[in-house]
């Protein structure tokens, strides 16, 4: 089954404790992206990647890191999480700029 897999689905952590949210797609897509979704603000792009080793900042990159060492994987790293990063996170992938995204199931992160 073609899909984007995110883990974990739910995560509660404490301020300052580094964490990684994994994302993997099995569709051989070139493009991958991370979004966060907050009430009233919609989906905001954190980082995106157009190919292996090519990443770029989205609208809200502060406090986040990404890497794209393999085409299928695009992990999101929070080096020192803060409470304002409490949000619902989505990873998504697409075969090209003119195609729609396939989204992962989401990761609900709470930073206390």
Partner 1 sequence: QKEVEQNSGPLSVPEGAIASLNCTYSDRVSQSFFWYRQYSGKSPELIMSIYSNGDKEDGRFTAQLNKASQYVSLLIRDSQPSDSATYLCAVNLNDMRFGAGTRLTVKP
Considering the rule CB under 8 A, would residue 40 count as an interface residue with partner 1? yes
Q: Is the peptide bond before 75 cis (omega within 30 degrees of 0)?
A: no
Considering the rule CB under 8 A, would residue 3 count as an interface residue with partner 1? no
Map the footprint of partner 1 across residues 73-102, applying CB under 8 A. Answer: 90, 92, 94, 97-102
Q: Smallest distance from the beta carbon of 20 to partner 1, in angstroms?
A: 20
Residues 6+ apart with CB under 8 A from 20: 75, 76, 77, 78
Considering the rule CB under 8 A, would residue 10 count as an interface residue with partner 1? no
Residue found under tokens 């966060």:
36
Considering the rule CB under 8 A, would residue 112 count as an interface residue with partner 1? no
Half-sphere exposure of 1 (CA within 13 A, CB side): 5
Number of residues that bind partner 1 (CB under 8 A): 22
Residue found under tokens 């580094």:
18
| Positions in the binding site for partner 1 (CB under 8 A) | 33, 35, 40-43, 45, 48, 58, 90, 92, 94, 97-106
């Amino acid at each position: 089954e073609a899909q984007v897999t995110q883990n974990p689905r739910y995560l509660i952590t404490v301020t300052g404790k580094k964490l990684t949210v994994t994302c993997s797609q099995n569709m051989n897509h070139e493009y991958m992206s991370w979004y966060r979704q907050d009430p009233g603000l919609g989906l905001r792009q954190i980082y995106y990647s157009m190919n292996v080793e090519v990443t770029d900042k989205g609208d809200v990159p502060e406090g986040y890191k990404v890497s794209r060492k393999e085409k299928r994987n695009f992990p999101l790293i929070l080096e020192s999480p803060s409470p304002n990063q409490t949000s619902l996170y989505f990873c998504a992938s697409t075969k090209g700029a003119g195609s729609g995204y396939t989204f992962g199931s989401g990761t609900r992160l709470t930073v206390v």
